[in-house]
Amino acid sequence: MARKLAFDRLLFGSVVLLVFLGLLMIYSASAMQIYLPTSAAPAGAYFFVIKQTIAVVIGSALAFLAMSIDYRRLNDPRLIGASLVLLAGALAAVLFRAPVNGARRWLSFGIVKSIQPSELAKIGLVIAVAALLSRREREVTHPTRTLLPILGLVSLFAGLVLLEPDFGTALTYFVIAGAMLFFAGLPLKYFLGSALLLVPTLSAFVWTAQYRRDRLMAFLHPEADPLGRGFHAIQSLIAVGTGGVTGLGLGHGKQKLFFLPYPYTDFIYAIVGEELGLIGCAAVLALFGFLFARGVRAAANAPDSFGRLLGIGFSVMIVVQALVNISVVLSLLPTKGIPLPFLSYGGSALFADLLAVGILLNLSQHAS
């Protein structure tokens, strides 16, 4: 019999700390953008932090709603089907928009200037895969009843995202689904077989586009083109290295002074390293590790398989994004457009991450 408990305050607290740190770092990293000598300069030093604060308020409301409604109500085939159709339609619609910085990823809805459907699609995928696997607990290896439907759904969403193009997010979909399948009991041999097919496929995909080849070459040899392809990687490493152990102090970083492009988005962890040092970077890593541990704990204690799979899916979703972003900043991976959860500027990613946290907090109120 399931017991109703108080929500996990430690999980809640770790997210609050990450969001608060994100607002601080966004202000520190973006305030100097007012001096951009172009029409892209914001209206004021507080422009980005105000917009992010509004996103935090909206995202917090979504998280509170997700925490208040019993998670088992999400396991409704009609609701899941309608949501998947809506998300697929949104992912297709962005392909007809005018490109921004060479990519088509955003839609506009009235007062909402831009929303990124690929971020919200992660929520829909986790719920859909959890629902299907919970109904096929004893048939997780069945090719037509379990594996092909999941592969087809993930491939559809990933394929639409690849057309934007957004290789990193598309690959994240497969990682999340793979983690959920592993937790559901899919034997390791299936993953080994998939890896043998995936490596040559990814290699071929990377070499079919010039910008992907450029990113790979910049990752392998950033010093070969320090003012071009290797610029991001080199400037990011300079920021992290300059910070040392204790950092230069909040607001005293130099790389945000138009050396590191868009320091308040995908490379905000580099500003954390420069201004808060190794201590700040380690603290951020520790908070994500703690969040993951509490999310897995909520999943393990869930009273049904649907809840357990939801918990694993959302915990992996948040932490994989964090690890990829941090790895890019430290030049451990080629450049990817994946934001750092709760810290990077951007409403769509924040909405998705806070929704995921709301469902995790919902799960933490139930125990078998």
As a whole number, mean pLDDT of residues 121-132 equals: 96
Cis peptide preceding 165, ω within 30 of 0: yes
Task: Assign residue 336 a region (left: φ > 0; alpha: ψ between -120 and 50; beta: otherwise).
Answer: beta
List CB contacts of 274: < 8 A, sequence separation 6 or more. 239, 240, 242, 243, 247, 248, 253, 254, 255
- Report yes or no: 41 and 33 within 8 Å, Cβ to Cβ: yes
More confident of the two residues 108 and 291: 291
Residue with tokens 């152990």, as numbered in its chain: 245
Phi, psi of 14 (to 5 degrees): -65, -40
Q: Write out the two tokens for 364.
A: 């933490």
As a whole number, mean pLDDT of residues 243-264 equals: 88
User: Given this model, what pLDDT does residue 112 score?
Assistant: 57
Residues 332-365 have pLDDT tens digits of: 888 877 899 999 998 899 999 999 999 999 999 8
More confident of the two residues 223 and 235: 235
Residues 184-214 have pLDDT tens digits of: 988 888 888 777 777 777 777 777 767 777 7
How many Å apart are CA 363 and CA 74, to the nearest integer? Answer: 12
User: Given this model, what pLDDT does residue 1 score?
Assistant: 46
Q: Write out the two tokens for 322.
A: 């964090």
How many domains does the chain divide into?
1
User: Given this model, what pLDDT does residue 109 score?
Assistant: 66
User: Given this model, what pLDDT does residue 300 score?
Assistant: 92
- Report yes or no: 341 and 316 within 8 Å, Cβ to Cβ: no
Q: How many CA atoms lie within 13 A of 296 on its CB side?
A: 11
- Report yes or no: 129 and 313 within 8 Å, Cβ to Cβ: yes
Burial 185-199 (b: 16+ CB within 10 A, else e): ebeeeeeeeeeeeee
Question: In angstroms, what CA-CA distances link 140 with 35, 132, 184, 185, 197?
Answer: 56, 10, 7, 7, 20
* Domain residue limits at 242: 3-367
User: Given this model, what pLDDT does residue 194 score?
Assistant: 79
